[in-house]
Amino acid sequence: MLLCDFHIHTTYSDGSVELRRTIDLFGQAGFDVIAITDHVVSGDNSIGKFANRFNLSVREDNFEEYMTNIRQEAARAWNKYGMLVIPGVEISKNHLSSDKSAHMLLIDIKSFVPASWNYERIFLEAKEQDALIVACHPHYMSDMSKDTLFLWNNREKYAKYIDAWEVANRDDVFNVISLKKYPYLANSDFHKARHLYSWKTLLNCEKDTAAVKQCIKHNKGVAITLFRN
C-alpha cells in the first residue's frame, strides 16, 4: 500500500515549512505519494485581499514559479526517496460565514485557476486539465472558526463534480462522508512539521500519477490510517 498525503501547504501560502524542507520531511518519513496544494485565495473579498497582500496565497503572477519549483523538487524527491510529488492547489473561497466558505483541492493541475470563478467554472476547468477535485474538510471541525460547509450543504448540486471528499483531515474525522458513501481520502492539511502525524491515505495501486488518480476516482483499494510516531 502506498502511504499518501494529498493536502500539504508550504511557505508559498500559509504553511510554515519551505517547499524543499517539506519534501524532505515527507521523504525522510517514508511517504510514497504527496501532493503540494498551496492556497489559491479569491481576491474578491477582504479576507482574500489580505491573503494576497501578505503572500499567503499562490497568485497568477507566481503560479509558474510555483509549478516549476514543485516539478524540480518532484524530480529530486523521485531520485532520492522514490517519492511521487504531484502539484496541486487548494482553491479557497473564504467568507465570514462558514456556510458560504468552501475549500477544494485540485490535484495534478496544469495551469492557474482563479478562486474567484464560480464553482461550476472551476470544476469544469479542473476536469479540462484532468485534475482531481477533492472537497476539503467538508464538515464541522474541532476548530470551528475554520469550518467550510458550502460544498457539503450543496452536495446535491456539486457532488457529481467532486472526485473524493476528505473523510478525515488532520485530527478530525467526518463520519457524514462515510454515511453518504462518497469516495473518500484522508489528509493532514499540513502547515507545520508536527502535522506530519495525522490522518493519511493508503492506496493500493502503482506509484504513478495516472494510477493514483484512477485509484482515488474509483475509490477501490483506498484505506485511511492515523499516522503516528
Partner 1 sequence: MSLFWIFAFLTFFGLIAYGFQIWAVRSYLSTPCSCGEGLALPRLFPPVSVLKPLKGLDDNLYDNLLSFCSQDYPEYEIIFSLQSHNDPAYRIAKRIKDKHPGRNISIIVEDCSIGLNPKVNNLLPAYKASKYEYILISDSNVIVDKNYLREITKPIDNSGPVGEVGLVSNIIKGVGGRSLGAIFENLHLNSFIVGSVCFLHSFLKLPCVIGKSMLMSKKDLEAIGGLRSVKDILAEDYVIGERMHKAGKKVVLSNYMISNVNEYWGFKRFLNRHTRWGKLRWKIGGSKYVFELIGNPVFMSAMPIVFWQCSKLTVTFAVLTSIIKVFGDFYLGRKTGAELDNPFLYLLSPVKDLVIGLIWTVPIVSNTVVWRGNRYSIGKDSILSPCPETGIWSLRYRIIDAIKERFA
Q: Which residues contact 14 (CB under 8 A, 6 or more apart)?
A: 39, 51, 56, 191
Q: Does 176 bind partner 1 (CB under 8 A)?
A: no
Closest CB to partner 1 among residues 29, 47:
29
Q: What angle do CA 123, 129, 130 make, to 5 degrees?
A: 85
Q: Which residues contact 79 (CB under 8 A, 6 or more apart)?
A: none
Q: Does 221 bind partner 1 (CB under 8 A)?
A: no
Q: Does 3 bind partner 1 (CB under 8 A)?
A: yes
CA distances from 11 to 21, 87, 197 (A): 10, 15, 19
Q: Which residue has the cell 462515510?
A: 178
Contact 103, 137 (CB under 8 A): yes
Of 20, 29, 52, 62, which one interacts with partner 1 (CB under 8 A)? Answer: 29
Q: How far apart are CA 51 and CA 69, in angstroms?
A: 21
Q: Does 30 bind partner 1 (CB under 8 A)?
A: yes
Closest CB to partner 1 among residues 16, 52:
16
Instruction: Candidates 24-32, 40-48, 145-153, 173-181: pick the segment binding partner 1 (CB under 8 A).
Output: 24-32
Instruction: Candidates 19-27, 113-121, 131-139, 141-149: pick the segment binding partner 1 (CB under 8 A).
Output: 19-27
Q: Does 190 bind partner 1 (CB under 8 A)?
A: no
Closest CB to partner 1 among residues 18, 120:
18
Q: Does 226 bind partner 1 (CB under 8 A)?
A: no
**Interface residues with partner 1 (CB under 8 A)?**
3, 21, 25, 27-30, 81-82, 193-194, 227-229
